[in-house]
Copies of this chain bind each other. A is one copy, B any other.
Amino acid sequence: MATRTDAPTRREQILREAARLFAERGFHGVGVDEIGAAVGISGPGLYRHFAGKDAMLAELLVGISGQLLTGAKRRVREADGGSADVLLDSLIEGHIDFALDDRPLITLHDRELDRLRDTDRKLVRQLQRQYVELWVSVVREVYPTLPEPAARSAVHSVFGLLNSTPHLGRPGSLPGRGATAELLHRMARGAFAAAGTD
């Protein structure tokens, strides 16, 4: 067969397996030997690709936060001039896609942040904050009576709802990806609507 569009580089392979293992057993619960074994090399061979175990986690978390924020900004741009209501649906859809397709990353993203070095942690926190604030502004446009602190709480809570995908049973026991995505979407909108209705 012809080479695929992008053969996954070894770095990406390592990051993928590291994410899975970190999500399963926690950052401190996984040894570098295990990560190496997961990609067919062993232990110290990883140091040809990363400065250390911390660097893998940092790259994962920065990547996640950046990807979420970039995607959200793109959606805002594409919806320019449209209704805030449609934009909110778009944001929800994007977040659900991410939560369903990259469960290990979603798990890491709100679990292992404190294991980062100061500089990396601040960067991730900043990206996450921008993402939240973007949502908050859209939510407040859809529900103008909702005070900002309540809107921010509501956004965090809806993230909790959408990020519950890892608890939803392994893919296969679900009613199907599309049905699950739609259910989550409806629930998120329902939650926001309930928050915005005094």
Chain A residues near B (Cβ < 8 Å): 24-29, 110-112, 114-115, 147, 149-150, 153-154, 156-164, 167-168, 174-175, 179-180, 183-184, 186-195, 197
Contacts and interface: CB of A to CB of B under 8 A. Distances in A.
Contacts of A158: 161, 187
A176 to B, nearest CB: 10
24 contacts: A25-B115, A26-B27, A26-B29, A27-B29, A147-B175, A149-B175, A150-B183, A153-B174, A153-B175, A154-B187, A156-B164, A156-B167, A157-B187, A158-B187, A160-B161, A160-B162, A160-B164, A160-B167, A161-B161, A161-B164, A161-B191, A189-B194, A190-B190, A190-B194
When all copies of this chain in the complex are counted, the total is 2
Contacts of A175: 147, 149-150, 153
A25 B193 CA distance: 35
A115 B191 CA distance: 33
* A interface secondary structure, majority: helix
A149 B180 CA distance: 10
Given A168-B156, A191-B161, A26 B28 contact: yes
